[in-house]
Amino acid sequence: MAYVESRKNLVGSACGIAGLVLTFTGLAGTYWPVVVAGLYGAGALIAPPERPPAPEFPDTSSRLDALRDDFGTLRAYLDEVELPPAASGRLAELTGLLDGLLAPGWVSEALAADPEGVHALSRAVHQDIPESVDTFVRTRWWTRITPGTEPPERHLEQQLTLLHRETEALAAGLREAEARRQQIHTRYLEDRGRNG
């Protein structure tokens, strides 16, 4: 059935019909079956090959929906973890920024147009933040039994600061893209006003 709908069969059939037209007009003569079959074969040979369909991947907005759900799961985990005040404040700033970027609306629509940004947020939610907090919790336990070592709070605060900077840079990039878009539209309107 796939061959019946294929390009090769359709082009070959069109050429075969042209052979039948030649037969009915008397140009094919007694060799009309050979002419029709030959034209069908030639048409099937010159037809472009079938192109396999391109794979369909989920669009970025569906990835953002899944990321929002995962961020909710991460926040539930973070609410159960006891952190020192400085790290807790830094984490609240970071999660607030992530919450703003992932909130449904025009910001997440702008983010959906930036696959690298979605990847960076996905990495932060799925890997960086949970790893930082979980490593702190495990290291803090060891520090309690072996006092005198470097406090794990410093590393946690530094990691959260770095993640906050990275997320702020992403937000700044989105803001700059929107500002450029606005400037381009202004130039377009100015040019249209001059030419109109």
Q: Give how many domains the chain has, as a whole number.
A: 2
Whether residue 70 sits in one domain with residue 163: yes
Domain, as residue range, for 141: 60-195
Whether residue 39 sits in one domain with residue 74: no
Whether residue 25 sits in one domain with residue 122: no
The answer to whether position 55 is within a domain reads no
Whether residue 72 sits in one domain with residue 41: no
- Cβ-count burial of 59 within 10 angstroms (0-12 exposed, 13-18 middle, 19+ buried)? exposed
Whole-angstrom distance, CA of residue 95 vs CA of residue 92: 5
Distances (CA, A) of 105 to 92, 96, 97, 124: 22, 16, 15, 21
The answer to whether position 20 is within a domain reads yes
Whether residue 41 sits in one domain with residue 85: no
Amino acid at 30: T
Whether residue 166 sits in one domain with residue 106: yes
Say which range, 60-64, 115-119, 124-128, 180-184, has the weakest mean pLDDT: 60-64
The answer to whether position 53 is within a domain reads no
Whether residue 66 sits in one domain with residue 23: no
The answer to whether position 100 is within a domain reads yes
Rounded to 5°, the CA angle 109-94-88 comes to 155
The answer to whether position 171 is within a domain reads yes
Find how far residue 159's CA is from the centre of its chain.
26
Whole-angstrom distance, CA of residue 28 vs CA of residue 186: 67
pLDDT of residue 196: 65
The answer to whether position 141 is within a domain reads yes
Q: What is the mean pLDDT of the chain?
A: 87
The answer to whether position 52 is within a domain reads no
Note the pLDDT tens digit of each residue in 166-185: 999 999 998 898 889 899 99
Whether residue 39 sits in one domain with residue 75: no
The answer to whether position 2 is within a domain reads no
- Contact assessment for residue 11 and residue 44, using Cβ atoms and an 8 Å cutoff: yes
Whether residue 171 sits in one domain with residue 96: yes
Whether residue 119 sits in one domain with residue 191: yes
* pTM of the predicted protein model: 0.66
**Token pair in block for residue 125:** 């939610």
Whether residue 133 sits in one domain with residue 177: yes
Whether residue 73 sits in one domain with residue 126: yes
Note the pLDDT tens digit of each residue in 68-104: 999 999 999 999 999 999 999 999 999 999 999 998 8
